[in-house]
Amino acid sequence: MGNVTVVGAQWGDEGKGKIVDWLSERADVVVRFQGGHNAGHTLVIGGRTFKLSLLPSGVVRPGKLAVIGNGVVIDPWALLAEIETLRGQGVAVTRDNLCVADNACLILPLHGQLDRAREEAQGARKLGTTGRGIGPAYEDKVARRAVRIADLADATGLAERVEMLLIHHNALRRGLGAPEIDPKELVGELRAIAPKVLPYCDVVWRRLHAVKRSGKRILFEGAQGAMLDVDHGTYPYVTSSNTHAGQAAVGSGMAARNTGYVLGITKAYTTRVGSGPFPTEQDNALGRLLGERGHEFGTVTGRPRRCGWFDAVMVRQAIAVGGIDGIALTKLDVLDGLDEIGVATGYRLDGKAIDHLPANRMAQPRVEPIYETLEGWRESTRGARRWADLPATAIKYIRRIEELIEAPVALLSTSPERDDTILVRDPFAD
């Protein structure tokens, strides 16, 4: 039995939290490998709702090891706050079930301040970030001036890292008219929080290799979605990390050949939060209906999500680039009762048919979807747990999606409840 990597195949918010939680019952370790606390995963377990941003979804399951890999940027204050929230819900988070990579980079208060200042300065052209400092933290990582988890254990080295960091950030702050940061104050804040964070610190790549050698199963949990990938998404309206499955290896220290079956999560329709192109968006009564039925509000931001028809072109592109082996189709029940359902099967750009979303940011908003109209169904699919419980027309819709995206449906979700899931093909068996 192999490992599984779960990634979003749209613009995030596809329902990865529930699918990861469902799969984690058969996994021993759950690993986050990119992003930060801009992610939002909602789990509904036994009538209780858990909202996670930074912690891997497996942390709510007894007997599982949750791992935050080096590809994640970590706000230590947000991490501790999330741990305390879970403890208040009766979930024990200790060094026995949470492991944080010692080479992961930190998000500091100055990163969030810079993020928000930039968005405000952009005005109507803002990117729509969460304002939590994820982008600026990744910038510092790539520029080799970041403070990492391991630095918290070295008092002398920590002060030197902060001095180097502030050479850059105080220059930026002067340009923005913001007050400069006193390095001694920031070092003091980090030294104060270090004893609370360091107990979770470990050499993650070594820990994961030991897990692999022992024959245990690993579930790699992605955040955001394929079309938010910094290289392959709708740039510049993207996140600041690579969201495709290849990042599971780099962001955890596990060899690429060991990351296993790639399961892409996609809704039976499409949503997007924030700015950026959205070819199949329905900015009308239908879009509002989908949003109301699907409770489409961001887990982290609370912002309403933009809604539209399923975009097979975009998902097919995500599958090809990301090496997705099969998909988990979520929120099928939101389409119940519709007479007709649209699916984008191609695009037109300036009157010419194209088969992909172009990289040029000026061309992307001009893309027009080519729709195929499928028959809807009147019966309810909500809560279905067997293929035989689905209306024939709903099955026809699923089969057509498989044809268009050139990948099979491995799992089907029919409500937020974890058990309302139809297993078509077991990812762990591949």
pLDDT per position as a tens digit, 243-299 = 999 999 999 999 999 999 999 999 999 999 888 999 999 999 999 999 999 989 866
CB 27 within 8 A of CB 4: yes
CA neighbor of 113 nearest in space, from 166, 167, 178: 178
What tokens does 373 get? 């109209």
Q: How confident is the model at residue 43 (pLDDT cuts 50, 70, 90)?
A: confident
Q: In the prediction, which pLDDT does 41 show? A: 73
Q: In the prediction, which pLDDT does 199 show? A: 97
Q: In the prediction, which pLDDT does 128 show? A: 65
Calculate the CA 304 to chain-centre distance: 17
Of 80-84, 400-404, 415-419, the poorest mean pLDDT is in 415-419
CB 238 within 8 A of CB 229: yes
**Residue 125 scores a pLDDT above 70:** no
Q: Which burial class, exposed, middle or buried, applies to 279 when counting CB atoms under 10 A from its CB (0-12, 13-18, 19+)?
A: buried
* Residues marked as catalytic: 13, 41
Q: In the prediction, which pLDDT does 385 show? A: 95
Of 165-169, 353-357, 407-411, 415-419, the poorest mean pLDDT is in 415-419
Q: In the prediction, which pLDDT does 300 show? A: 62
Q: How far apart are CA 353 and CA 318, in angstroms?
A: 19
CB 388 within 8 A of CB 422: no
Number of Cβ atoms within 10 Å of the Cβ of 16: 28
319: left (phi over 0), alpha (psi -120 to 50) or beta: alpha
What tokens does 254 get? 């596990």
**Residue 301 scores a pLDDT above 90:** no
Q: In the prediction, which pLDDT does 299 show? A: 61
CB 254 within 8 A of CB 217: no
Residues with Cβ within 8 Å of 185's Cβ and at least 6 positions away in sequence, in order, are none
- Cα 380 to Cα 269, 334, 414, 415: the distances in Å are 17, 9, 10, 11
Q: In the prediction, which pLDDT does 275 show? A: 87
Q: What is the mean pLDDT of residues 11-23?
A: 89
**Residue 328 scores a pLDDT above 60:** yes
What tokens does 158 get? 């920590």
Q: In the prediction, which pLDDT does 188 show? A: 96
Q: In the prediction, which pLDDT does 383 show? A: 93
Strand, helix or coil for residue 7: strand
Q: In the prediction, which pLDDT does 298 show? A: 67
Q: What is the mean pLDDT of residues 15-38?
A: 90
Q: In the prediction, which pLDDT does 61 show? A: 85
DSSP 315-354: HHHHHHHHT--EEEEE-GGGGTT-SEEEEEEEEEETTEEE
More confident residue, 416 or 180: 180
Strand, helix or coil for residue 391: coil
Q: Half-sphere exposure of residue 373, counting CA atoms within 13 Å on the CB side? A: 3
Q: In the prediction, which pLDDT does 60 show? A: 87
DSSP 77-128: HHHHHHHHHHHHTT----TTTEEEETTPEEP-HHHHHHHHHHHHHHGGG---
Q: How confident is the model at residue 1 (pLDDT cuts 50, 70, 90)?
A: low
Q: What is the mean pLDDT of residues 384-400?
A: 96
Q: How confident is the model at residue 166 (pLDDT cuts 50, 70, 90)?
A: very high
Of 37-46, 139-148, 205-214, the poorest mean pLDDT is in 37-46
Q: What is the mean pLDDT of residues 60-78?
A: 94
CA neighbor of 367 nearest in space, from 353, 380, 379, 378: 353
**Residue 322 scores a pLDDT above 80:** yes
